[in-house]
């Protein structure tokens, strides 16, 4: 999970039995803050991201992710239960 410009992204994961390769984005709107608890009030909606063209990385969890200033998300490695992955995938979170 990582964030970029008021959005949170989630790729893959594991539910204790299966690894997943779904890719989701949560658009966040900050509504306000409670002065007493300093808790943030947010609202948002989830949207599944589908790739165009070649398929994306396979099911996995525990990958490493960085996001460049230009909005390029790079995901390296991870594990799918059989063996560690040694691959690198990129996805533009905003228009390049």
3-45: pLDDT as tens digits: 667 788 888 888 999 988 888 888 887 777 777 777 777 778 8
Q: How far is CA 92 from CA 22, 40, 89, 96, in A?
A: 16, 28, 10, 7
Contacts of 15 (CB under 8 A, 6+ apart): none
Q: Is pTM, for the whole model, over 0.85?
A: no
50-81: pLDDT as tens digits: 865 667 788 888 889 888 888 888 999 998 88
How far apart, in whole angstroms, are the C-alpha atoms of residue 34 and residue 18?
Answer: 39
60 burial via Cβ count (<10 Å: 0-12, 13-18, 19+)? buried
């Amino acid at each position: 999970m990582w964030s970029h410009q008021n959005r949170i992204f989630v790729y893959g994961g594991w539910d204790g039995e299966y690894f997943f390769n779904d890719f989701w984005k949560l658009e966040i709107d900050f509504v306000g803050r409670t002065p007493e608890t300093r808790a943030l009030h947010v609202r948002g909606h989830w949207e599944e991201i589908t790739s165009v063209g070649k398929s994306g990385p396979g099911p996995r969890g525990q990958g490493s992710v960085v996001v460049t200033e230009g909005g390029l998300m790079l995901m390296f490695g991870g594990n799918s239960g059989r063996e560690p992955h040694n691959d690198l995938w990129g996805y533009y979170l905003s228009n390049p």
